[in-house]
Every structure is written in C-alpha cells, then in structure tokens.
Chains A and B, each alone.
Chain A
Amino acid sequence: MFGRRRFLEGTLGLGVAGAIGSAATACGDSKSSGPAGSGTGPWLVGAYLSLSGAQSQFGIDTKEGIELAVEELNKAGGVKSREIKVLYEDDKSKPDEANNKVLQLIDRDKVVALLGEIQSAISKAGAIVANRKKIPMITPSSTNPDVTKTGPYAFRVCFIDDFQGQMGAEFAVKALGKKKIGLLYASDDLYSSGLASEFKKAIGPLGGEIVLEKSFLKTESNFTTFLAEMKGKSPEVIYAPVYYNQMIPLARQAKAEGMPGEMFVGGDGWSDTSLFKELEGAYFTDHYAPDVPWEKSRKFVEAYKARFNRMPTSLAAMGYDAALVLADAIKRAKTDTPDGIRDAIAETKDFPGATGSITIDGERNAVKPAVIVQIKEGTTTYKSVVGPGADKLLEGGAAAPAPSAEPTASAAASASAEPAASASAVPAASASAAPAASASAAP
C-alpha cells in the first residue's frame, strides 16, 4: 500500500518538478542563478543531509564540515573566480525523502553537483536519482559498497567497510608485530562478516596465521565458551570486528578470562564511548581522529574549533573533505558542466584532505589510508596510520611536531587528545555504527 502511494507521490512529484523545470527553461534565464554551467553567478551545489530525525547529529556534523570548507574556499576567491553556494536540504533521515529532495535540487535549483548523505541507504536512494539525472554526487561517509555501484555519477571520499579488514590485518602484523591471531565475528551481519573475510584474505600474505576462528549470531552476548577456547590456542591478538553493543559483553567476559584490552583489534563499529571504559588499550581502525598528526588535519581542527567552538567529529572532517574534493574537481574540470565535473572527480589523485590523501579509484571509491586509534582512559587517541599513502602522509607534516606552528596550532594538536572523546561520542563515523537493535540497521 505504502509502496503504491509512494510511487504515486514520486511520479506526481516528478511530473510537477518536470513541469516547473520546463516552465523555468521556457522563461529563459530569468533567475540569477541560471542553469548549470551558465558561466556567471555562484556554483550551485546541492547538499541533502539528515538535519532532523534519527541521524540528525550526523547530518549537522557533516553540514558544519561542508560549511567550513565552502567558507574557506570563498574567502580565497572561490573556484574559477566564482563563489560556491551550497543549498542544504533536510531529508529527515529517510531514503524516500532524499529521493524527493535530490529531485528538487536538480530540477528546481539546477545544481551542478551533489553532496550527501551519511547513512548508506539514504545515499543510495539519492545516488539513483543523481545517476538518472547525470549529476555527479559525492557521499562523505557512506561505507556500503552498493552506494557507488549505482552508476558512474556516484562517488565517495571514504573507504568501504571491507577495506578496514585489510587495514586491521596490516596493523596487527606490521605495526604490532603479532603473528598468531584469533578471529571472532558475527556471521549474520554484513559489516562484521565483510571485515572478517577481508582480514582473513589479507593475513596470509602478510605472514600472519589465524589460530582460531569463531563466528556467532549478531544477537549473541555470551562469549565465555569462545574465549575459553581462544585462550587455549593462545593467540597474540584477537580481531573482533563487531559492533560496540556486542563488544561490550565480549570485553567484559574477556576481562574475566584474564585477556587484556591490548589484545583486541576491531573496526569503526567500536566507536562509541560506552565501550571505551570496558576495553582499555584496544585498537581499532577508523576514518579519522582529530589528533592525527598531519598538517591538513591540524589546520582543519583549528579552524573548526574557532568556527564552531567544539572538536570536530569524523563526520565533520569527511564532510569537509567531500566539499574540498568537489571544489578541486570543479577547478580542474575541462567544461563547467555536470559531466565535466564528473570526469574531474573521477581523476582525483592524491588530494590532500583532512582525513588523509584521497585518490578516487575505478570503482569511484576513495583509496586512502585508515587511521588506527587506541582506547585510553575512556577516550581514543591516535596510534598510527596504515594503508595506501600512509607513509607519505606522515612525511608530509607529522615528522616534526607542528612545523609551521603558531602556539595555537600545537595547543590544538596536543589538547585534542582529551576532547577526542567528544568527537568519538557520536557513534561511529560512516553511519556504520548505531546498529540499533533491529535488522534494518545494515548501514
């Protein structure tokens, strides 16, 4: 029933939007903005985000990141000496609403490109429209592989979930130097089993060995038997890419079995303060941490704090990067049309963002390093960075503490260790966390 109603609304909406659109073009360029690529006026970019509803905090963080980037760009004279103007639309944390808003942005507002969404299901809904209308779209933080598979106009500036599995393996073997590894994951959860299978694939070539692998259902909360068996095989590290809600009982039971937090490595699904006090010393892969040592991030954190009076979250950093990558593409685009911009986004290479250097691959996903953070005293601190381009990043700005440092900069960098908690308090970047309790949660 709802399906049909929605369908009707959708077609009606399309019809109306279309009518308005054609009316607008019929009247000629009466509006100052004009259609895409008309050469004068600001670059119109549409951003559809969850500014109300369940995910509104994620949406607001992302919006602030985008705002900061756009303000900086415009202060520096805009792109191709035209300002960037972002039109924000609230999709109320719902995919069908995103569908309408994206249509509006494209047909009514004539945007040249889109930025949006955090939650993968919503990004996917938006991406389908963007592809149909041939308007390039960049999602800052949707990690589900399907989002960019919708077509050639959908991009992302974050890595996909599974990639964290490889990074976890690299970290465990190379950075920690551990070879005997135990694996625990939820087999009926796409996120968890995806990370686990990528981890398994990566661990062999690196020289590591899985001594015991145990899987369970995502509703499982009794791990004592697994942990006892694990102990018998004496692994040096246990990789447990599960969500924080499952990790809490796992961590407590591990403690009871005498396994220290340092033994555990996980993914960004752990990113929730309620877990941090249970798992002192553990490591996990994440998209970003405000205390990463490279220059670009330090500047971002400083500017963000000055502008919004709080520490940036991962989502803010990814929103910032998405806007910068888009602006960079507009600058490089051979033609000022959505297609020209699309091609330029696809050619993005080694773009220095706050979250690391970003290269867009053939699948329109970002190839970039992952940040490893360690849980310390109820918060997370930056530990290291692994993956493509990681070494270069560290050479770039980190080696010396704050090379171009005004006192404020280094203060920001060192101060960031404590308030990092506030950043991570918003559950998991990438909306991959917050599994809530229901099956609908697949990010």
Chain B
Amino acid sequence: MFDNLGSALLTGIAQGAMIALVALGYSMVYGILKLINFAHSEVFMMGAFVGLFALQALGGEGSPLLAGVFGTLAAMLFAGLLGTVVEKLAYAPLRARGKEASRIAPLVTALGMSVLLQNLAQLLFSARVQSYPQIIPIGETRIVIVVACFATMIGLWLLVHRTWFGKSMRALSMNVDAARLMGVRTGRVIGLTFMTGSSLAALGAVLYCLDQSPAYPTMGTVIGTRAFVAAVIGGIGSIPGAMLGGLLIGVLGELTKLTPYSKFQDVLVFAALIGVLLWRPSGLLGSTAVEKV
C-alpha cells in the first residue's frame, strides 16, 4: 500500500508540475488583463503538435538529446509566436476600443479563438491520435519533467521579480492606466506576457507528451480545464498560486487512482477544489485585499 502511495505521489508531482506550467499562462494573463484566455489550452495543443513534428524532423529516437532539447525549444518558440498572434488578432483590437467593448466581449473572442484553433488543428493534422517517439525511458522522463518544471518556475520568478519586464508586468497588474502614464509600453508588455505564458504551455505540452505520448486536436481541453482550475485554486493572478494549484491537482488526481473510484477522478478532484474555494474564495495564495475599483 505504502509503496503504491510513494509512487503515486511522485507521479502526481510530475503530472502536477506539467499542469502548473499551463496554469501559469492562465494566471499571468488574468493577472494583467482580467481576461480568461480560453485559447490558452489550444496553444498548448498546438505546441504539442509542433513539438512532435520538430522531434521527428530532428531524428526522434535516434538522437534523443538533440531532438529533445531543440524540439522543445522549437515548440516553445512557435507557441510563443502563436500566443502573441492570438493576442494581437483577438484581444488587442477590443482593448483599443476601450469602453465600447464590454468585459464579456474579449471572453467571447477568446472562446471563438479556442474553437478556431481546435478546428484548424483537426484540418491540418486530422483528428487522429499521433504518438510521440519515446526518446527517454519513462522513469527518467519524469525526473526530467520535475527538474525542468521547477527550474522554469524559478526562472519565471526571477523574471517577474528581478527584471524590468517583470516590474512592468507587476505594474500593469496593479493598474494598467497608471502604468501607461508612468511610461510603461503596455502593448508590448502584454504581448510579451502572452508570449511567455504560451511558451510555458508549449514546454508543458512537450513534457506531457514525452511522458504520456498522445497528441490530438482536443487534448487541450483535457489538460486545459485542469490547468485553469489549478490557476483559480491557487489564486488566479498569483504565480506561486498557479504552481501550488497545479501540484495539488496532480497529486490529488493520482491519489484517487488508488481508490476504487478512479473513474470518478475528475469528480473527486473538482469536489475537493470546490471545498477549497468555499473556504478561501480568492484561492489559496490569492490576494484578498487589492481589488481596486
């Protein structure tokens, strides 16, 4: 029993770390724009596909190190660009219209973008499930995942707290207008935020697929919902919160697999999360104070 518990915890942490990477994207965008970027899960999916093609082009199982590193970078680069394009196409024009556009409008374009990308993927790659080459054994993949995820999170923390870009991001999340008046180029910072979040999602996607293999056009919704909930649970807008939320969901999910109710995994996980929200409505690490009007 306890053997299983240990292995389940480890698997859960690896799973959770990947979810956290995706959750960061939701959280960062929400923190700045108060927008739930529904297209984020689709950027995740696109990242998985581009990663797959890059891995195959770079030799796949034949040259694991080269394919793994550069395949991942290619996916991150592509997803970063895609995220920025989505922002410029679907959100920036609405923001430019200012008060004309209600708060619900960007939400709807986000949903539309998500459907568009998903269908585009079906058109381009077909609905078939494509499996990743197995470039490293699964046991080691999980170590790579945990190391990569935590390294990235530390990197992100440094980016947000130690760089000028991070400082302007934080300024935007406090008050966009004030930041603009202070000379922060908001458009560029928002674009960079989308780019960062999307690259992280692509990293999560490639790691997820290296571990569990299948890439398919609707995969975004599976991980996307969990990641979104992870972001909310941790306190949306909070970066450490997204990490905590992701890990919590991952570990809880694996623990339910030890019970006879494994088919209700999502039900149990989400029920626990409703519980958390009832207890702390703004999430575990969410700021309770500063909702300025």
Contact = CB atoms under 8 A, between A and B. Distances in A.
Give the bracket for the number of chain A residues in contact with chain B.
20 to 34
Interface in B125-155: 127-129, 131, 134, 137-139
A256 B212 contact: no
B254 to A, nearest CB: 5
A438 B218 contact: yes
B217 A437 contact: yes
A220 B265 CA distance: 10
A249 B212 contact: yes
Contacts of A222: 11, 15, 211-212, 254
A7 B204 CA distance: 46
A225 B255 CA distance: 8
A384 interface: no
A435 B218 CA distance: 12
B162 interface: no
A74 interface: no
B177 interface: no
Interface stretch (B75-83, B178-186, B235-243, B256-264): B256-264
B128 A436 contact: yes
Interface string A408-442: 00000000000000000000000000111110000
Contacts of A221: 212-214
Contact of B138 (A232, A252, A438): A252
Contact of A225 (B11, B127, B137, B213): B11
A239 to B, nearest CB: 16
Contacts of A437: 127-129, 216-219
A214 interface: yes
Nearest to A254: B138
Contacts of A438: 127, 218
A391 B219 CA distance: 45
A348 interface: no
Nearest to A256: B138
A217 B221 CA distance: 14
Contacts of B263: 187-188, 215-217
Contact of B254 (A225, A244, A253): A225
B3 A232 contact: yes
A256 B212 CA distance: 12
A221 B131 CA distance: 11
Nearest to A212: B260
A248 B8 contact: no
A214 B262 contact: yes
A415 to B, nearest CB: 29
Contacts of A255: 138
Given A228-B3, A232-B3, A248 B218 contact: no
A226 interface: yes
Contacts of B219: 437
**Interface-centre pick from A188, A225, A248 (highest chain B CB count, 10 A):** A225
B7 interface: yes
Contacts of B139: 256
A77 B137 CA distance: 61
Contacts of B266: 217
Interface in B195-240: 211-214, 216-219, 222
A252 B134 contact: yes
B288 interface: no
A248 B132 CA distance: 10
B47 to A, nearest CB: 16
Interface in A203-256: 214-217, 219-222, 224-226, 228-229, 232, 244-246, 248-249, 252-253, 255-256
Contact of B131 (A188, A225, A253, A274): A274
A250 B258 CA distance: 17
B212 A228 contact: no
Contacts of A252: 134, 138, 213
Nearest to B11: A224
Given A225-B11, A437-B219, A217 B138 contact: no
Given A229-B4, A249-B213, A216 B262 contact: yes
28 contacts: A216-B257, A216-B265, A217-B265, A217-B266, A221-B213, A222-B11, A222-B211, A222-B254, A224-B7, A225-B7, A225-B254, A225-B257, A226-B262, A229-B258, A245-B216, A248-B214, A249-B212, A249-B214, A252-B213, A255-B138, A256-B138, A436-B128, A437-B128, A437-B216, A437-B218, A437-B219, A438-B127, A438-B218
Kindly list the 7 A-B residue pairs having the minimum CB-CB distance in the complex, ordered from nearest.
Answer: A245-B129, A436-B127, A437-B216, A187-B263, A221-B212, A256-B138, A215-B263
Given A248-B129, A437-B129, 8 more contacts: A219-B222, A225-B4, A225-B258, A228-B3, A232-B3, A245-B129, A274-B131, A436-B216
Interface of A: 187-188, 214-217, 219-222, 224-226, 228-229, 232, 244-246, 248-249, 252-253, 255-256, 274, 434-438
